[in-house]
Every structure is written in C-alpha cells, then in structure tokens.
A and B are shown apart, each in its own frame.
Chain A
Amino acid sequence: MALYSDSAHRPSAAIDALHSDEIQSFSRVGTWGSAAQRTAVVATARKIWVEAGLQQSSGDESLADSITLPAPVQRLIREVALGGISVDRTFCQQVQSEGVTEGAYVEIVSLVSRLSNLDVFARGLGVSPRPLAAPIEDTAPSFKRPAEASDEGFFTASVPNAPAGGALAESLYGNNQAGNVFRAVSLVPDEARRVIALIEQQYFPGAKVMDFEYDNGHALSRAQVEIVATKVSEHNQCFY
C-alpha cells in the first residue's frame, strides 16, 4: 500500500517509494548508531515536536524510551529538532568533548533532519506523521570513517569534491562539483547518499539547481518554489 494512500493530496510514486524507504532506514543499523539507537534518536525528535505543540502525536514517541540516550545526544537531538538555529562550533565541540564522536554527531544531525523532512511533508498534506518502525536489525555499526574526509571549514569533516575526494566523491556527487549542502553530512556517506537522493527528487538535481528553466515536475513555478524555500529558511534562520 502507498505510504500516503490516506491523503487527499497524492505525491508521485517516486516520492512515495523514497519516503517509505526513509522510514525504514531509521530502524536499521547505521555507520555510527545501532538500530535501537537510531530508532530512539528519531523517536526522541518526534517527542520533542509533540511536546512543543508543533505536531500531533503519532503514538510512537514511546520508542524514545526503549533505550537511554546519553545527555549530550539528547541535547543535540533537541537543538536540531528545533531548527539548529543556535548551534555553533562551540556547541558542536562541547557535545563531542562529552563523548559523542564526530561521526555520530553527523549521523544524528542527518537522522533528525531527515525525519523533519517526512513529518513536515505529512503536516503539509494534512495526514498524521507516518509511523516509525521498531528496530529491525541488531548488528553492530561499522564505525567506518572515510579516509577521504577532511576539514573543509565546516563544524565537522566532509568528503571534498573530486579530485581530492577520490572515487568516494565521484560515487556521492557524480561528475558535479557539489555545493556545500550536498557535502555537509558526507562524513557518513550512507547519510549523504540519502540526503542527496531526497534533494534531487524533491527539489532539483545538483547539476540543475542553477538551471532556472529545468522542469522537475513541480506544480509550482521556479519562482514560487524559491519563495516557499525562502520562507521556510527564514523560519529556521538559515543563512545558507
């Protein structure tokens, strides 16, 4: 059954399939977090939104309590869930000094941000947040940090464009010189692949972002799309 079959406003089959896979990804083992930890991270974000009155309960916030997440992880989830507006380099370093590895920091930021994508979309359509799944894998994370990652001036390391980023950069970004947002979470390549797939399906492919005549099948003009984007970014006080 389609993920949004209960909505009066039906997205494309491609969006439906992508979002179905996104929901499943939260409850699978990651690079730095176990399936149980990742599930608890996204359920905690949802709990924060419900407690803040930003969205209705989907009844699965109790998954947040299935394991106890460390205090710095909970602080990070809260900050990102509420927009990441006050996160700065000092906050990032503080969280890491309390035991959150750089890779785990990036993975948590990506998880909460990707859940935000799904929950804001559901809110826009007028349906409840799609149910989270219980952890479905119990294998250990790989804890694999890409050798190509370097300091590009962000709070965390990232995989630079080719040639410096090598074959990994080509597999992530194709032949494009990817913008900073495409490289942001590339310290965890699996998360970067997911974020890039979402951007390309939901907004525009990286190579077409500056092509203002490109048609990605949106029901709004390019100018209208950019107005929506700007309004949301104003809410989140995002300079980027």
Chain B
Amino acid sequence: MKFTSAITGADAEVLNTARDAVVEIMGSPAVVTASIIAANFSMLDRIANAIGISLDGMMLKPSADIRELLGINNYPSAANTLER
C-alpha cells in the first residue's frame, strides 16, 4: 500500500524506501507487477474521467456497499453514472 501511494505521490525518497521494502519482503517481480498495475490504472482513470464513461451496468449493484463505504459516490466522475 505504501509503495502504491508513493508511486502516485511526489516524494521520490518515500517511493525509494517503499520500493526497497517491497523488494525485501516480496521480491523484485512484485515491484514490476505493482508498477504495471499502477501505470495501467493511471491511464484508465484519465481516460474514464475525461471521456465520461459510466460504470458498466453489471458492476453497479455489486459495488454499492464499497462505493458508499469509501466515499466513491462523492467523486465528480460519479455523476457520469449516478446522474445518467
């Protein structure tokens, strides 16, 4: 979690420390996978927000509790689904 937060943050030192911890505990391949997933969703989030896509219908009901719990319904992009 610290590594993922650090990738999207601005502090290179924090990121380096978090990466070293991942290597020590989980190994170098985990750094690669965590980085590629973070990269992938950095791309997809921008596309989703800027194109205004709605959440796929089959995901709406199953995600209701987690969206409420995490405050996701308050994101500006929630309007692209909830107000449609």
Residues of A near any B CB (own CB < 8 A): 8-11, 15, 52-54, 56, 76, 79-81, 83-89, 92, 106, 109-110, 112-114, 116-118, 120-121, 123-126, 153-156, 158, 179-181, 183-185, 195, 198-199, 202-203, 218-220, 224-225, 227-229, 231-240
Interface CB pairs A-B, < 8 A, 6: A11-B36, A109-B51, A120-B42, A184-B47, A234-B72, A236-B49
CB atoms of B50 and A202 under 8 A apart:
no
Closest 6 pairs (CB-CB, A-B): A124-B35, A84-B49, A219-B29, A155-B52, A236-B45, A121-B39
Tell me which residues across on chain A come within 8 A of B50, comparing CB atoms: 76, 79-80, 84, 87, 92, 109, 113, 155
Give the complex CA separation of A120 and B9 in angstroms: 10
Number of interface residues of B (CB under 8 A): 55
CB atoms of B79 and A88 under 8 A apart:
yes
Give the complex CA separation of A222 and B13 in angstroms: 28
CB distance from A56 to the nearest CB of B (A): 7
Give the complex CA separation of A15 and B55 in angstroms: 28
Contact for B4 among A83, A121, A228, CB less than 8 A: A228
CB atoms of B53 and A233 under 8 A apart:
no
Cβ of B48 under 8 Å from chain A: yes
CB distance from B8 to the nearest CB of A (A): 4
Give the complex CA separation of A229 and B26 in angstroms: 18
CB distance from B18 to the nearest CB of A (A): 10
CB distance from A197 to the nearest CB of B (A): 12
Main secondary structure of the interface of A (DSSP, over half): helix
0 or 1 for each of B29-68: is its CB under 8 Å from A? (1 = yes) = 1111111111111111111111111111000000000010
Tell me which residues across on chain B come within 8 A of A183, comparing CB atoms: 53
Give the complex CA separation of A116 and B35 in angstroms: 12
- Nearest A residue to B48, CB-CB: A240
Tell me which residues across on chain A come within 8 A of B34, comparing CB atoms: 124, 220, 224, 228
CB atoms of A238 and B52 under 8 A apart:
no
